[in-house]
Structure 1
Amino acid sequence: MKCDLKFVILLLVIIVPGTLFPNISECKNRNDFKIIELRNGNGQKVEIANYGARIVSWYVKDNQDHLRNIVLGFSTKKQYQKADAPFYSAIVGRYANRIENFTLEGKEYHLTDDDFILHGGAEGFHQKMWKIKKVTDNAVVLSVHSKDGEAGFPGNLKVEVEYVLTESNELKINYKAETDQATPVNLTNHAFFNLKGAGNGTVLDLLLKVNADQYTPLKKGGLPTGEIASVENTVFDFREFKKVSKAVNSTDAQIKLANGLDHNFVNKEVNTPLITAIDPTSGIKLEMTTTLPGVQIYTANFLTGNDKSDEGKAFKARESICFEAQFFANSPQHSNFPNTILKAGEVYKHSTTYKVSVVNSNE
């Protein structure tokens, strides 16, 4: 792809001898796909794309001190647009997960003629070109504007997302949103993780611990029933470490309904890890802490293998896992779920932190 020559000349005149955003990978015109590199002093690197404000890659060290990319992604916009899974590691909204047509303040809002929309529908944030507002060596701020009526939702919504890679090997995602009308808001990042490395095989042997006493059961189509159920004596009890396969390979009716794990777990304590996952091969441990009330755990049940990494590795079903910090699906229909309505004058502020470390074989 060619840079706009006038823009390049202007850029050189304004910025040389320094550069405004030195860690943006390519010089292209303002509307093109860009990748921003974030680095810390420990050798970690995170790549963030402005298309969908998504994580492209996250390179971390394993138990042999080798770098592995633990996030599924691509190097071009075209690959994302053609992918079987359009949400690869993107910011999704304005309402993550599933939501039906709803009534708010006495007015009905029609989102779809189908049963529900998923992750913001046809005008979701995953396929928008986000504005790059600020870049440093280890952080980037991106923003997007969703117009009143877009995808059927009320209100002009301004969204900012900040990614920060810390010296503690944490990737922090900070969300901020404001609206001029009451509207449902539910933002998440849909990262597909494989702690062996992207495209390096199954996640069914992943050791998983979830700090949740409750989950929200599903009905057909993946919508919640409205019940908040105990995990006690169910395959959803991950309060102690167990392999992901213990749930996914079970005959449980909920697992069969979703073709694997695709369920929301209720956050028990915001200041402690909701998720702890350890890969027995690489020794990489991933912890997730969030201010949000739940996490959707998804075992990539419908990836086909058609999508491939730049190295040619196929992205197959159950060879990655998502930990999507979120409000609950379809919350406007269930008064017992945490409220997702953002009103004019209010500020939506939430954060999610993923922390990587290494577990030794004798731990």
Structure 2
Amino acid sequence: LGFDDIQGYMSAKNPYFGSVIGRVANRISEASYDYNGFKHYLSKNCGPNTLHGGVRGFDKKIWNAQIVNQNALWMSYTSPDLEEGFPGDLEVIIKYVLTRCNYLVLRICASTNKVTPVNITNHSYFNLAGHETGAEGLYEHDLKIFTNKYTELDQEFSLPTGRVLSVKNTAYDFRKFSNIGEAIKKSESKGIDINYCFMKDTLKTIARVKHAASGRSLQLYSNQTGVQLYTSNYVDNIQGKKGVVYQKHAALCLEPQGYPDAVNIKKFPPQWLHPKDAYEHIIVYKFRVEKLADSENEPEKQETKGKAQTEVKGSKAREKRGKGGGKSASSGEAGSSGSEKKYRKGKKKG
């Protein structure tokens, strides 16, 4: 889903179509957090809470762009100290690379001069039946998510309670390919907006989506410990590209991320970025037009560490080869930022 022009993306009505979300994706309770005894207050844009980075998060910023080569684009942005209440200057580079095997690789790198929480994601909306097919098309999708745990939410503000629960006997159980339309009907709120939990912060298969009628499929990889499944529950009469009006359940989002509200729930995996460390988030989208096998014996581990990892390494090599001839689309050169230099010295996942 998306818009025909930049005005649509900059509009206050944009429900984050295709957006980069930061500094911190998802919700932060009471728009505040405590670090080493000091209380940090953030902007409120979701009742008393902070959602997706605040009032003017990364999705509302104009980023510097550098065309590295015909298959690679670098986007950079420096978030100044105390923007939306977050401490420290945060330099961010996002590297988009389309590989020869039709993998879209996103590498999100960041560095800071003060300790700050970082949890950046991509908020793209997908409808493999076609963006114009709406809820009818979405309900035809089948989904598989490679975990059996999710973070429980409260009823008032959809904030994590701190409990991690099993998906068994819930509408959130996608351990095997399951129909999204049926799952939405079973959900209490007639829509899904939940974080799934993963044990490891290494590159792995997160989810698979398929649309049988068209044969289109999407496979998602990430090195994060969570992924948010969102079924466009609050999309309402949005004028999109080619004149299409998007409504509720027009698409689904799979947003790789850290656990929501981790800054306030100490037992969740931490999201603190320190000045001498570097943040790196890898997202890989694999698209194809053929039916996905649903075999429980399918070698997921081998495929993930093999082909996807190879595509990520290949994308890095292509960046280096093409960087010298890159063209900047703005005054900022993405390749010259501090986050890229720190990324080369050593990496630390958020």
Shorter-normalised TM range = 0.7 to 0.9
For 1:212 and 1:180, the matched residues in 2 are separated by 35
The amino acid that maps onto 1:212 is T
For 1:83 and 1:112, the matched residues in 2 are separated by 16
Match runs of 1:182-331 below 5 Å:
182-202=115-135, 203-219=138-154, 220-250=156-186, 252=187, 255-256=188-189, 259-268=190-199, 270-309=202-241, 311-331=242-262
With normalisation by structure 2, the TM-score equals 0.78
Tell me the SS of whatever aligns to 1:354.
Answer: strand
Cross-structure match for 1:62: none
Query: Aligned partners of 1:267, 1:316: CA distance in 2, in Å?
Result: 31
Residue 113 (structure 2) pairs with residue 180 (structure 1): yes
3-state SS, counterpart of residue 87 of structure 1: coil
Deviation at 1:82, TM superposition (A): 3.0
- The aligned counterpart of 2:5 is 76
The aligned runs of 1:1-363 (5 Å cut-off) are 72-82=1-11, 84-100=13-29, 101-112=32-43, 114-202=47-135, 203-219=138-154, 220-250=156-186, 252=187, 255-256=188-189, 259-268=190-199, 270-309=202-241, 311-360=242-291
C-alpha distance in structure 1 between counterparts of 2:49 and 2:267, whole Å? 20
Q: Secondary structure at the match of 2:84?
A: helix
Cα RMSD, aligned residues only: 1.8
| Larger gyration radius, structure 1 or structure 2 | 1
Does structure 2 retain, via aligned residues, the 8 Å contact 1:84–1:304?
A: no
Q: Go from structure 1 to structure 2 and tell me whether the alpha carbon gap of 1:243 and 1:154 turns closer, same or farther (over 3 Å shift).
A: same
The answer on whether the counterparts of 2:212 and 2:291 sit within 8 Å (CA) in structure 1 is: no
Q: TM-score, normalised by structure 1?
A: 0.75
Distance 1:297 1:361, change over 3 A: closer
Aligned-pair CA distance for 1:143: 0.5
Query: CA 1:342–1:89 in structure 2 vs 1: closer, same or farther (change >3 Å)?
Result: same
Post-superposition Cα deviations, 1:237-288, rounded to whole Å, max 9, x if no partner, equal 11100101222101x4xx42xx411000112564442110001221101000
- Measure, in 2, the Cα distance between the counterparts of 1:306 and 1:348: 34
Separation of aligned partners in 2, 1:224 and 1:362: 34
Q: CA deviation at 1:84?
A: 2.5
Q: 1:312 & 1:322 partners in 2: Cα distance?
A: 21
The C-alpha deviation readout for 1:127-149, integer Å capped at 9, x for no partner, is 11101134311110110001111
Secondary structure in 2 aligned to 1:332? coil
1:360 CA drift (Å): 4.5
How many Å separate the matches in 2 of 1:271 and 1:94?
A: 21
More deviation in 298-307 or 110-119? 110-119
- In the alignment, is the contact (CA less than 8 A) between 1:211 and 1:268 conserved in 2? no
The 1:268/1:76 distance shift into structure 2, 3 A limit, reads same
User: Are the aligned partners of 2:15 and 2:235 in contact in 1 as well (CA < 8 Å)?
Assistant: no
Distance 1:138 1:293 in 2: 28
> Aligned letter for 1:352?
I
Greater relative contact order structure (CA < 8 Å, 6+ sep): 2
Q: Which runs of 5+ in 2 are unaligned?
A: 295-350
Query: 1:56-104: per-residue Cα shift (whole Å, max 9, x none)?
Result: xxxxxxxxxxxxxxxx112311122336334111101001111131011
Q: Residue 217 of structure 2 contacts residue 291 of structure 2 at CA under 8 Å; is this kept in 1?
A: no
Give 5+ residue unaligned stretches, structure 1.
Answer: 1-71
Q: 1:215 to 1:362 in 2, by over 3 A?
A: closer
CA contact (8 A) 2:4 2:240 kept: no
Paired position in structure 1 for 2:308: none
Equivalent-residue separation in structure 2 for 1:267 and 1:307 (angstroms) = 36
% identity of equivalent residues: 34
Q: Which residue of 1 aligns with 2:315?
A: none
- Between the aligned partners of 1:104 and 1:289, the Cα distance in structure 2 is 31
- The structure with the greater share of residues assigned to helix is 2
When residues 361 and 99 of structure 1 are mapped into structure 2, their CA distance, relative to the original with a 3 A threshold, is: closer
What's the counterpart of residue 51 of structure 1? none
- CA separation of 1:108 and 1:166: change in aligned 2, threshold 3 A: same
C-alpha distance in structure 1 between counterparts of 2:249 and 2:180, whole Å = 10
* Contact 1:301/1:317, CA 8 A, preserved across alignment: yes
Q: For this pair of structures, how many residues does the alignment match? A: 286
Judged with a 3 Å threshold, the aligned counterparts in structure 2 of structure 1 residues 110 and 83 are, in CA distance, closer, same or farther, namely closer
